[in-house]
Structure 1
């Protein structure tokens, strides 16, 4: 009799353990399904778009357009949600949000109503590079984008002198910057570091 009682108690204990594991597994499946639903929804909400100078946002697929008469001219077009294809005029656009085109996942601004600039550093100091070019531009605290070309064929001292006013409000960064050579790599590094300090 005692043996049967012990056997019943053990069977009951095992049933409880199995029941708890089944509940845990069921909860884990629900959590996993919810997690993937949230991730999928978040990814699906990210779309390519342009913001016009009138602050209108137009969603659609952004692609590069080829000008066969002047292949050095970079142009973009958008296929909106209604299927209409329009050439993007840089004089009418503030920003382009590209995600998976030729330029990858990036923001593209415009300057002088004719050029497209890819933002390569985002922060208190934004750095832009001419799309398919070597010219660099900067904007601090969302001010107007200005040419502050550095690196490439420019003299190193000129690059240092163009960037120094942007970082002079941080003496620690400025001291390190003044000890560096004015290479493109060093300038981009110091701007990233400046932005990290500004966070």
Structure 2
């Protein structure tokens, strides 16, 4: 089992999101952002709330990526169509065959199955995105709204293109993933600034 990619996929998006968030903070309306962060810091628990959302976000990222590390143990690049299957089923009983049962990926049924698979991926990330969007909007209102739009566009592209078996569906997934990571990055930056400010009081 390969843990390297698992670690990278768990940590790298947050790092990239924090870098992007810091760029927004530095080159955006910094005085206003500082004012909003100071206002939020009046609630002593604000930094811990932000940190809690980031921790949950990274747990969700790890849980979503962990099956990929396991898949690589029995699937190869030649099994590309099988990578979409969240479950590999086998028959049981006295007359059971040794065939593996997978999703039907052909024709309209295949489109339906892939669309549902894409929805499953989206739902897995939505919880922390909504929490991060709420917190990030208290400081980075307009940038958070723009990033939320990018998240929506990314998932729209991924669902539609994945359902039609278009090879470029990954572009939408990457856009949505980066948007989610940027919202988390904003919240992580807010947590860092709030907790540092608490230690200086």
Given the two structures, how large is their TM-score scaled by the length of structure 1? Answer: 0.27
Structure of larger gyration radius: 1
Q: Which has the higher strand share?
A: 1
Higher RCO by CA contacts (8 Å cutoff, separation 6 or greater):
2
Q: Which has the higher helix share?
A: 2
Given the two structures, how large is their TM-score scaled by the length of structure 2? Answer: 0.26
